[in-house]
């Protein structure tokens, strides 16, 4: 997974910034990245070399250090005609998004008629990793949650201990952190089904559940992007490995993704593995 060493922006942002003028403010400020709240949702700003967020852009470390030193949560940010203006405690700092390379983070779609998923090395590696992913997840697993998660991989309603809608409500917002583990699992699962065009009706259920059950603003931003068809750059690498025959390459990628966040990477991979199981049963 070779990171692009240039200033980049997600192509999802073109859906965000339809109006030439938008007003926002700094939502959260971290050592290596920040989020800006606009009426349409969050804009994530990271540094070159980091995975590109579906709702974000990456700037130079030097520019980020300047923002980090001068900005405070709540500071005004204005988007005007392709530029971001940060009204900091000291200066007005502008970022010209016109000059950024646009990266396509849209979820590709595989035709199950042309991919025998169960026989792929990709599926076999995930099948072998399933137990360790379930153990390492950051989600506290009681019996009800364990049975509910297994239900996500079932096609037959009679084999499900929980209805899909009930499982979604159980997962959304469950756990600690900026993106709770339950959210990450659901995002990974949904991503897998979208990847193999098995999410018809499912995405609408997720959107409805998100209206009923609240979670963090950052998780909401990831859900919003995914349901529109966009995913984090580092997890997009998974899609490029579906037909990969090099077992070690796939296993190494999984290990790299597990290091994303505290348990966020592992949680998303666990959900993705459950989604693969569902798709494989559907294919069979």
pLDDT per residue as tens, the chain (284 positions): 555 578 999 999 999 887 778 999 999 999 999 999 999 899 999 999 999 999 999 999 999 999 999 999 999 999 999 999 999 989 999 999 999 999 999 999 888 777 789 999 999 999 999 999 999 999 888 888 888 898 898 887 767 777 888 899 999 999 888 899 999 999 999 999 999 999 989 999 999 999 999 999 999 999 999 999 999 999 998 899 999 999 999 999 999 999 988 899 999 999 999 999 999 988 77
Residue where a domain stops, chosen among 50, 79, 103: 103
Residue 112 lies in a domain: no
Strand pairing report for 56-59 and 41-47: parallel
Position 257 scores a pLDDT of 94
77: CATH: 2.40.50
Position 4 scores a pLDDT of 55
User: Distance between CA 10 and CA 230 in Å, rounded?
Assistant: 9
Position 235 scores a pLDDT of 93
Structure tokens at 92: 């007005």
Position 180 scores a pLDDT of 95
User: Distance between CA 85 and CA 88 in Å, rounded?
Assistant: 9
Q: Could you tell me if 141 and 60 lie in one domain?
A: no
Residue where a domain stops, chosen among 103, 127, 155: 103
Residue 142 lies in a domain: yes
Q: Could you tell me if 29 and 55 lie in one domain?
A: yes
Beta-carbon-side half-sphere exposure of residue 7 (alpha carbons within 13 Å): 13
Q: Could you tell me if 139 and 85 lie in one domain?
A: no
Residue 128 lies in a domain: yes
Are 192 and 275 a contacting pair, CB within 8 Å?
Answer: yes
Are 11 and 57 a contacting pair, CB within 8 Å?
Answer: no
Position 141 scores a pLDDT of 82
Residue span of the structural domain in which 97 resides = 8-103
Residue where a domain stops, chosen among 103, 137, 163: 103
User: Distance between CA 196 and CA 211 in Å, rounded?
Assistant: 26
Cα distances from 121 to residues 77, 94, 117, in angstroms, run 47, 47, 9
Report which of 283, 274, 275 is spatially closest to residue 131, judged by C-alpha positions. 274
> Rounded to two decimals, what is the model's pTM?
0.93
Residue 108 makes CB contacts below 8 A (sequence gap 6+) with 195, 239
Residue 55 lies in a domain: yes
Are 140 and 176 a contacting pair, CB within 8 Å?
Answer: no
Position 3 scores a pLDDT of 54
Residue 108 lies in a domain: no
Structure tokens at 190: 């949904």
Q: Could you tell me if 233 and 125 lie in one domain?
A: yes
Q: Could you tell me if 232 and 275 lie in one domain?
A: yes
Q: Could you tell me if 122 and 256 lie in one domain?
A: yes
Q: Could you tell me if 152 and 32 lie in one domain?
A: no
User: Distance between CA 205 and CA 211 in Å, rounded?
Assistant: 10
Per the structure, the count of domains in the chain is 2
């Amino acid at each position: 997974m070779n990171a692009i060493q240039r200033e980049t922006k997600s192509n999802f942002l073109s859906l965000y910034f339809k109006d030439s003028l938008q007003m926002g403010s700094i939502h959260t400020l971290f050592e290596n990245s920040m989020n800006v709240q606009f009426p349409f949702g969050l804009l994530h700003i990271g540094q070159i070399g980091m995975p590109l967020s579906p709702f974000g852009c990456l700037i130079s470390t030097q520019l980020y250090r300047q923002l980090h030193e001068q900005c405070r949560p709540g500071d005004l940010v204005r988007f005007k005609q392709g530029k971001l203006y940060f009204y900091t405690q000291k200066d007005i700092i502008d970022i010209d998004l016109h000059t950024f390379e646009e990266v396509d983070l849209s979820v590709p779609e595989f035709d199950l008629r042309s991919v025998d998923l169960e026989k792929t090395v990709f599926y076999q590696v995930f099948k072998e990793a399933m137990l360790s992913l379930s153990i390492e997840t950051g989600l506290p697993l009681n019996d009800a949650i364990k049975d509910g998660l297994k239900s996500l991989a079932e096609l037959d309603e009679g084999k499900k201990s929980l209805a899909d809608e009930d499982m979604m409500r159980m997962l959304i917002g469950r756990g600690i952190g900026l993106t709770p583990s339950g959210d990450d699992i659901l995002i990974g699962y949904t991503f897998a089904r979208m990847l193999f065009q098995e999410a018809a009706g499912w995405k609408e259920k997720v959107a409805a559940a998100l209206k009923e059950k609240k979670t963090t603003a950052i998780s909401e931003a990831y859900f919003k992007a995914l349901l529109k068809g966009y995913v984090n750059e580092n997890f997009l690498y998974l899609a490029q490995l579906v037909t990969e025959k090099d077992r070690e390459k796939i296993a190494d990628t999984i290990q790299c993704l597990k290091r994303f966040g505290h348990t966020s990477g592992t949680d998303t991979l666990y959900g993705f593995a459950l989604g693969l199981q569902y798709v494989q049963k559907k294919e069979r």
